[in-house]
Structure 1
Amino acid sequence: MEPTVPCDPLLSEKSEACPLRGDWISFQLVDETGDGKPYAGLSYVLQDSSNQKYPGVLDANGAAKVINHYQGPVVLHIDAAYAGTEDFYSALAQRKSYPLPITELQVRAEKSRFVRKDGLRVENNPAKGKTNQFFHVEVSDLVKSSAHLPPISPRKHPPNFNLLKAMGDLGFGQEEAELYGLCLLPNKNTVLEVRPLRAFRPMLSKDNKFSALNLYQLSLFASLSYSNFGQAPFEKPFDTISFPLDPSVGYLFGNGLASFRETWKVNKDQTTAYYPLYEDVAYSKRFEILPFDPKLYDQNKLELGPDQDYPSKWHFFDDGEAKGGTNTQAFITHHDEVVLISVRGTAEPMDFLRDTDAEQVHFEEGVGKAHKGFYEAYKAMSEFVQTYLQQFHINQKVIICGHSLGGAIATLLAEALRRSPKKYDILLYTYGSPRAGDADFVAGAKELAHHRMVNNNDPIPSVPAPWMNTRKSIWLPGVILSFITAPVGALIFAIGLTRTGGAPYKHHGELHHFMPVHFKGRDQSSILWDPGCDSIEQAACTTALKKIEDLPDRDAFWLQAIQMGNHFMVPSYIPNSWATLRRWQQTQKTGTTIVTETEYKQVSFELQEMQIRLKDKESQLKSGDHSDRMANNQDLGALRAEIGRLNTSGERLNTLKFHNLTPEEVYGSATHAPEHELNVERWMAKKENKIEVQTAMIPKAGSSELRTA
């Protein structure tokens, strides 16, 4: 028995008083190749003009037909919840915080692939010529809740949303609280090309061993930490949010990569395109930015006032405007295998003051003492990170990166998380980081996997000096005097300086030092190595190698300190990291070594020059008039130890000359990803990466980048 149908106007007063049956509709879901099999067996619902619903299941070709529905357009939605057996999707749908409305349609679209490598739509779908109507559609067009899905991509054949809106405004059949789906015209066959749900995800190695891939990738994310989150509206959102600001953290993860665009900008003044290496993954396996949907999540409702929840509160920490804030900034995001945390470095005057507050305080989360300014900044963001991990950590690797001040804060954060009851699996990369703790802290953090990058003459890793453990008002006048009176060629351990009580400040982590080599002309390459000697490691006495046969000159630290270009990310650390990755890629592929004969000769010459200078200083100390014999003996001991370490540097350089890289040294665990070679080929296809020489030259920074530095 058919249900009673009210005799109300249908779409206008000119319509029949009572709707009539007799129309039919047929439709098919296909992928970009015209194949409907990926969508076979999907449940659907058609709703006609009298609010009659026709549930069904797509056939083996992703098609369906309904005969004798009430006259007029029909609305199609495919909104059945995922009921499959894959734990990954079930976990997303059932998690405590922000459970996602995963549909079977979404899962099917995530398993389809783009025909074009760039993700742009194909011009002519084979199914287009076999139908009356053809539309480009997205999963979000067919489901009720879509805030967790990507922004709509440009399309040449969009559905008729004006008709759907008109039907909703006029009251489509019986009153509907919400009308959603696609509007299809009757007595026609319609083909719907469903856009694949794929995303780009930065490739990362989860191996604790150093890799050139992580070196480069994390240099980009360390730089991104200086950007805003980019959410609009910034606060008090009502129904939707967006991420229009490029570059920003929100734009990169919530817009660009989610929409399968190879975004490259991580700094607003960046002019050189540094593309991350991306892998093509199912959309749900991207780095996630949480959805905002007040209809689905009560915590998103505007009426909550200051307690209202939205993405920037979860993903972005910035206490610069807070009363008593530390001006610390960081972002956090995750996917099913990695949680990524990046901490901003020195950016404002308050950050410089924090850098110089060298008083040592107890590191409550572990052993030893920490730099007071860095520790306070870590404490400020600790709850933010812990809250996120409590909700979204499911045994992923936690990868943390930071530049400058951010590197020191990241070091304290990483060790605290490693020692927490959950014992997170931590991997840390820092760039130009100052010392964060004393020798006891470093000894206690021995098991923390930390790769520490220093670029040539970057002075920031040399502070706080080992002897600094008092407030800046006490040590600052003395340190200035020490730098000014230091002779040319002075050693970083600063003979004659003293420390007052407690263990000395010490660097944590495995050093990777960028040592530039200049060639004739303006070109220069960069060797990444651990030289093993204070004269190079601490950056205060390192200078770039000059042109062939030119003698290197050495400035005192106070002169080198003003050469801050070595410290910044976009002009220095990122180009050096890119050049290292390209060098390692090429030498691994060709079976050659990562140090050329020319570079080997120049660096060997530099090491010999260092030894000559130190031996000259040793002779001066031996022959001088010494009122303090004990202090003189200490200075002589320090000089002789450094001369011995320079011998170690020579041995390490010799090892590099004969070392052949493995793929794992270049890409780490990412080497074994299912589509690793395709992902690398995509990156190599960029014109910026097509350098076919063993010595990948360091790109020169653009003028705007240098001005920013």
Structure 2
Amino acid sequence: MKLDAWKQPFFNDKMLACSMRGHWVSFCLVDEAGSGKAYGGLSFTAYDSTGCQYEGRLDGEGFAKLQDFYCGPVILLLDERYSGTEEPYARLSKRLTYKLPITELQTRAEQSHFSNADGRRIDGNPARQQADRFYQVEVSDLVRHIAHLPAVVPTACRPQPHALKMMADLGFGPPQPTLSGIVLFPNQHSVLEVRPLRALRPLLSIDDRFCALNLYQLALMSALSYCDFGQHPAERPVDQVKFPFDPSVGNLFADKLSGYREAWRIDPEQAQRFYPVYEDVPYSKRFEILPFDPELYPQNRPELKDDQEHPARMHFFDDEAFGTDTQAFITHHDEVILIAVRGTYSHTDVLRDANAHQVVFADGVGKVHEGFYLAYRAMRDFVLRYLDQFYEGQRIVICGHSLGGAIALLLSEGLRRVPEVNYDVLLYTYGAPRAADSKFTDGASALVHHRIVNHNDPVPSVPAPWMNTTAKLWIPGAVTLFSAPTPGGLLFAAGLVRVGGNPYQHHGEQQHFMPITLEDGTQASVLWKPGCESIQEAACNRALQLHGDMPDRDNLLKQLFQADQHFMTASYIPAAWATLRRWQHTLESQGPLVTPREYALLDHALETMRQQLRDKNRELEQRRPPNQRGQAHEHNQALNAEIDRLNTSRERLHSLRWRRLEVRDVYGSHSHSASLQPSLKRWFSHRENRERSPVASVPSPVHGDRGRVHSLDIDSIV
């Protein structure tokens, strides 16, 4: 610096004037392979130490050089907004709410790929040899608005943030309120390795047809609904939000998957590793968690207080403060809007489950369970507000476990009947109780609903078809009123006979897990469609008899919901995983879905049940007065109908011996997609998913016995 420069006036109160120019800097943006072609042609802006602005464009190799600027470092930005028409970028940057400040740099980084399948940075970038300084950077280092971008992944070659802060503290660089850009040092060549902007998202089929992929994936999402959203701060954030709590909804979607990290924990107590099948997608096609940026979005400003929007409020419904204690999360990408509803969790949930009084379903036809209906009404507006902003023709995939499945059914039918919108809904439920009467079920026949029931899970047995809050709960060996236990005679009803009013009735196509213990002690699970009530209703009977014949009101539902085979991570998820593996192996081998030994066990069980129903029918007939024997009676009719259904069940079981699977049965709409094989390769890289048993045995629980799989015990079924 010339001595007389100190005599010049100050540029500001921190930085002295300096007339020396002639410094230079060069830089190159490259991918992990050392090539800069992906970033060729991008425009950039640089600011020297006096705040002078320089604009330019990278050449075809991603290289640029600045010359003759004032002495000192420069700050580099590549903040040019995307102006093209390619989807999804054009749509995301122009949508009505939460327009994303997508840059040209972001779109380029989304088209690059990781060298390592797990997204870890590589060592030895070839371009590093020609660099005076080498940095591993992210898109968020080079643009101003970063709330919609993933959190930075630490690396040893990150640009040091203190250099940028020092420039700002000294008053160097551009006049802007926030720190952004990368500091390049003068008279040196810097190479910037840009991290690919990719994300992982759970692979979901949007076909109506049932598939093993969705069975497993949506079981995981249903279990995730029991977690908190995990945002910090949870309420009234000021400038940014984070998602540090693992597992949580926000941590999974906004942190791990957005940062290209696989996650398997969806339950705080989970010890077994169940990885979803993830596909590698451009970052803008991930399941989105909306950004929080009060500068960009007025609705995020803290001064709005109770009306402030933030990610937890937009994606997470938690009605604990208003009495229903309903919880659900919602997120989306360009093809799917995913909604998962939580099952029974709290004392409030149990009381709602017990409220079996039927009320009119105002958004459709028929009557529904009052407790489930109140929960549905509590969350309906939350879902509609989200859809009003982000629905663009995607398939709406809804899932839920237990109580969550019942609420999900009402929500699905309510959305399907919203006028002039034509929401296309696909529903998977796990262990859901009956939620509505036969009129509702008939009116909702167009709703695609795959209803999953685990063997001996008692919850799908309630409410019984004839139940309401004033009718008696008839269970073989147990008679009770919800108001108080009372003596009564035995009716072999178990959901086959109703007492007045329209009966409660299940909706959807049932898929039933039947656990089996083979001779070597291996636990397996066969998924099939039994088409009969006996298996399901006997599960309720068995759960009640564990605690005596006369359960009180307060512990009746508690007993049911504590049954081993109702839990997600202990029972439904392992059985769903086993089914996916079984179907994958069957597809590969072109063999049958059941082995001869499995078929023999199941067929013997069904024949035994049928014979016991016949014996019960004769017993009831003998109890009738002699002058009424031989006459039609509703009890006999119900039992005869169930015997016929068992015959049908045996025929369905028999068909499994000869059924050959198609790729679509296993993977649905992804059966021929280019992303399927890379996704499966990633999934099979985990040792837990490489089980090659012909029956894909159900994994043994790591701790406790809540997930113990019961053997096929005839006495426990009938």
TM interval, short-chain normalised: over 0.9
* Paired position in structure 2 for 1:463: 462
Asked whether the equivalents of residues 456 and 542 of structure 1 are also in contact (C-alpha less than 8 Å), the reply is no
Quote the offset at 1:472 in angstroms: 8.0
Q: 1:643 to 1:477 in 2, by over 3 A?
A: closer
Deviations for 1:554-587, whole angstroms, at most 9, x for unmatched residues? x999899586011111111111100000000110
> In the alignment, which residue of structure 2 is the partner of 1:21?
21
Over 3 Å counting, the alpha-carbon distance change for 1:658 and 1:243 in structure 2 is same
Letter in 2 for 1:273: R
SS in 2 for 1:321: helix
2:674 equivalent in structure 1 = 674
State which drifts further: 76-85 or 462-471.
462-471
Report the Cα distance in structure 2 between the residues aligned to 1:693 and 1:441, rounded to whole angstroms: 43
Whole-Å separation in 1 of the counterparts to 2:253 and 2:457: 31
Distance apart, 1:538 and its partner CA = 3.9
Specify the code of the residue in structure 2 equivalent to 1:620: E
**Does residue 574 of the first structure (1) align with residue 573 of the second (2)?**
yes
CA contact (8 A) 1:363 1:370 kept: yes
SS in 2 for 1:21: coil
Conservation of the 8 A alpha-carbon contact between 1:531 and 1:537:
no
Q: 1:130 to 1:557 in 2, by over 3 A?
A: farther
1:397 to 395, 420, 429: 395
CA contact (8 A) 1:269 1:708 kept: no
Name the structure 2 match of 1:703: 703
Aligned to 1:509: 508
Q: Mapping of 1:336-355 within 5 angstroms?
A: 336-355=334-353
Aligned to 1:585: 584
Counterpart in the other structure of 1:550 = none
SS in 1 for 2:539: coil
Query: Where do residues 385-464 of structure 1 align in structure 2 (5 Å cutoff)?
Result: 385-421=383-419, 422-464=421-463
Give the match's secondary structure for 1:706: coil
2:466, 2:495 within 8 Å by CA — same for their partners in 1? no
Cα–Cα, structure 1 residues 472 and 73, in superposed 2: closer, same or farther, change >3 Å? farther
The one of 379, 383, 391 equivalent to 1:381 is: 379
For 2:575, the aligned partner's letter is N
Q: Deviations over 1:207-234 (max 9, x none)?
A: 0110000000000010000000000011
Which SS does the other structure have where 1:618 is aligned?
Answer: helix
Residue ranges of structure 2 left out of the alignment (5+ in a row): 710-718
**Cα displacement (A) at 1:541:** 7.3
Aligned to 2:113: 113
1:293-692 mapped onto 2 (5 Å cutoff): 293-322=293-322, 325-421=323-419, 422-471=421-470, 477-478=480-481, 492-493=494-495, 498-500=498-500, 502-520=501-519, 522-538=521-537, 540=539, 561=560, 564-626=563-625, 629=628, 633-692=633-692
- Pairwise mapping of residues 189-228 of structure 1 onto structure 2 (< 5 A)? 189-228=189-228
Distance apart, 1:681 and its partner CA:
1.3
Deviation of 1:519 after TM superposition, in Å, equals 1.7
Q: Which amino acid aligns with 2:270?
A: Q
Aligned equivalents of 2:508 and 2:455: distance in 1? Answer: 17
Deviates more, 1:78-87 or 1:216-225: 78-87
TM-superposition CA deviations, 1:274-307 (whole Å, max 9, x none)? 0000000000000000000111111111111111
Q: CA offsets, 1:190-219, max 9 Å, x none?
A: 000000000001000000110000000000
* Cα pair distance change 1:524/1:11, threshold 3 Å: farther
Does structure 2 retain, via aligned residues, the 8 Å contact 1:621–1:632?
Answer: no
1:187 alignment partner AA = N
Task: Indicate if the aligned counterparts of 1:222 and 1:401 stay in contact, CA closer than 8 A.
Answer: yes
Alignment check: 8 A CA contact 1:370 1:441 kept: yes
- Going from structure 1 to structure 2, the CA distance change for 1:6 and 1:402 (only over 3 Å counts) comes to farther
Judging changes above 3 Å, is the alpha-carbon distance between structure 1 residues 697 and 163 closer, same or farther for their aligned structure 2 residues?
same
| SS of residue paired to 2:221 | helix
Is 2:65 aligned against 1:65?
A: yes
- Alpha-carbon shift at residue 19 of structure 1 (Å): 3.5
Q: CA deviation at 1:349?
A: 0.9
SS of structure 2 residue aligned to 1:345 = coil
Change (3 A) 1:486 1:246: farther
- Cα 1:186–1:88 change in 2 (3 A) is same
Structure 1: distance between partners of 2:593 and 2:7: 81
* Cα 1:214/1:152, change in 2 over 3 Å: same
Cα 1:660–1:541 change in 2 (3 A) is farther
How many Å separate the matches in 2 of 1:562 and 1:183? 59
Q: For residues 706 and 7 of structure 1, what CA distance do their matches in structure 2 show?
A: 79
What is the one-letter code of the residue matched to 2:286?
R
Unaligned residue ranges in structure 1 (runs of 5+): 545-552
Q: Which moved more, 1:610-619 or 1:93-102?
A: 610-619
The residue matched to 1:540 in structure 2 has which SS? helix
The aligned counterpart of 1:100 is: 100
AA in 2 matched with 1:18 = C
C-alpha distance 510-483 of structure 1, shift in aligned 2 (>3 A): farther
Distance in structure 2 (CA, Å) of the matches to 1:189 and 1:321:
58
How far the C-alpha of 1:469 sits from its partner, in A, is: 2.6
Task: Pick which of 261-270 and 520-529 moved more.
Answer: 520-529
The CA deviation string for residues 122-163 of structure 1, in whole angstroms up to 9 with x for no partner, is: 011111111111000000000000000000012120112211
Report the alpha carbon displacement of residue 72 of structure 1 after superposing the two structures with TM: 0.5
Shift of 1:471: 4.8
Structure 1 residue 638: Cα displacement: 2.1
C-alpha change, 1:7 and 1:404, in structure 2 (3 Å) is farther
Residue identity in the other structure for 2:670: A
Aligned equivalents of 2:184, 2:487: Cα separation in 1: 77
Pairwise CA distance, 1:107: 0.2
Query: Contact 1:40/1:60 (CA < 8 Å) preserved in 2?
Result: yes
SS at match of 2:480: helix
The 3 A distance-change label for structure 1 pair 49 and 605 is same
The residue type equivalent to 1:68 in the other structure is: D
Q: How does 1:155-170 map onto structure 2 within 5 Å?
A: 155-170=155-170
Residues 556, 31 of structure 1: alpha-carbon distance in 2 compared, 3 angstrom cutoff: farther
Q: Which moved more, 1:108-117 or 1:664-673?
A: 664-673
The 8 Å contact of residues 486 and 556 in structure 1, kept in 2 or not, is answered as no
Structure 1 window deviating more from structure 2 (172-181 vs 101-110): it is 172-181
2:249 and 2:37 map into 1 onto residues whose CA distance is 37
Could you tell me how far 1:96 is from its partner in structure 2?
1.2
Shifted more, 674-683 versus 242-251: the winner is 674-683
Q: 1:7 to 1:50 in 2, by over 3 A?
A: farther
TM-score normalised to the size of structure 1?
0.92
C-alpha contact (below 8 Å) 2:139/2:195 kept by paired residues: yes
Task: Report the CA distance shift for 1:340/1:625 in structure 2 as closer, same or farther (over 3 A).
Answer: closer
User: Offset at 1:82?
Assistant: 0.3
Once the two structures are TM-superposed, the CA of residue 54 in structure 1 deviates from its matched residue by 1.2
Aligned residues of 2:92 and 2:99 also touching (Cα < 8 A): yes
Which moves more between the two structures, 371-380 or 535-544? 535-544
Q: For residues 70 and 473 of structure 1, do their structure 2 counterparts lie closer, same or farther at Cα, with a shift above 3 Å needed?
A: farther
Asked whether the 8 Å contact 1:600–1:653 carries over to 2, the reply is yes
Return the offset for 1:649. 1.1
Kindly, what percent of the aligned residue pairs are identical?
50
AA matched with 1:478? L
Task: Judge conservation of contact 1:683–1:689 (CA < 8 Å) in 2.
Answer: yes
How far apart, in 2, do the equivalents of 1:557 and 1:517 lie? 31
